[in-house]
Amino acid sequence: MAVGGKIRENKKEEFLEHKKKKRWVDEKSGNYCFMLYPRSLYVTWGQREYWDWKCFKETSDDNIEVVKLSHICWLDVRGKFKMSDLSKGAMYEVVYVVKLTKGADGWELPITLRLSLPGGEVQERKVSLLEKPRGEWIELNLGSFRASDGEHGEVCFDLWEHGGHWKNGLLVQGAIIRPCN
């Protein structure tokens, strides 16, 4: 039961929309957290010739689908989420969970991470993937915001690079919306 934006009972993780999303409760804050897997995101040029869609065994022993970039020059992965589904009053952050393969190539230009809020506020920054470790999942933080009471609309989040050169070897596990700790 929700009381003041917090969840009293201890709920386990639950998959939503045929494993396109997952919801759970943060143990520290009692607020909702969400994972949006690639099938719930908009992946530009997401066809099989540019991206490889594969099942991945998560720690909870459930198969989830991730997407691996085979080759593309116009990278654009976008997501959105309804503010009304978040715990009111909580500070949230949005992160993309990605991995670069050992043979990943074409990441000389930085990618842009953008978080857009319903009130028109936009947080944007550039991140170089050249300096990131290979072969392990990393989090790319897009920014943070407060889920205000009575706030409607959607929070939108983008990961993109439109430099026009070919790149490969990026795996996208999804986007996490969670309380800031």
Q: Report the 10 Å Cβ neighbour count for 65.
A: 15
**Quick one: pLDDT at residue 103?**
92
CATH topology of domain 22-179: Jelly Rolls (2.60.120)
**Quick one: pLDDT at residue 46?**
64
**Quick one: pLDDT at residue 54?**
82
**Quick one: pLDDT at residue 104?**
94
- Beta strands per DSSP E along 91-153: 91-105, 111-116, 122-127, 138-146
Mean pLDDT, 10 residues at a time, over the chain (181 residues)?
36 74 91 93 79 71 79 91 92 96 93 94 95 94 89 92 89 95 67
**Quick one: pLDDT at residue 57?**
63
Q: Report how many helices (DSSP H) and strands (DSSP E) the chain contains, helices first.
A: 0, 15
Determine the Cα–Cα distance for residues 6 and 29; give it in Å rounded to an integer.
Answer: 7
Q: Which residues of 15-48 are buried (b: 16+ CB within 10 A; e: fewer)?
A: eeeebbbbbbbbeebbbbbbbbbbbbbebeebee
Contacts of 73 (CB under 8 A, 6+ apart): 163, 164, 165, 166, 167
**65, β-bridge pairs:** 55
Domain extent listing, the chain: 22-179
| Prediction pTM value | 0.86
The tokens 């983008």 sit on which residue? 158
**Quick one: pLDDT at residue 64?**
78
Determine the Cα–Cα distance for residues 178 and 92; give it in Å rounded to an integer.
Answer: 5
**Quick one: pLDDT at residue 108?**
92
CA atoms within 13 Å, Cβ hemisphere of 158: 16
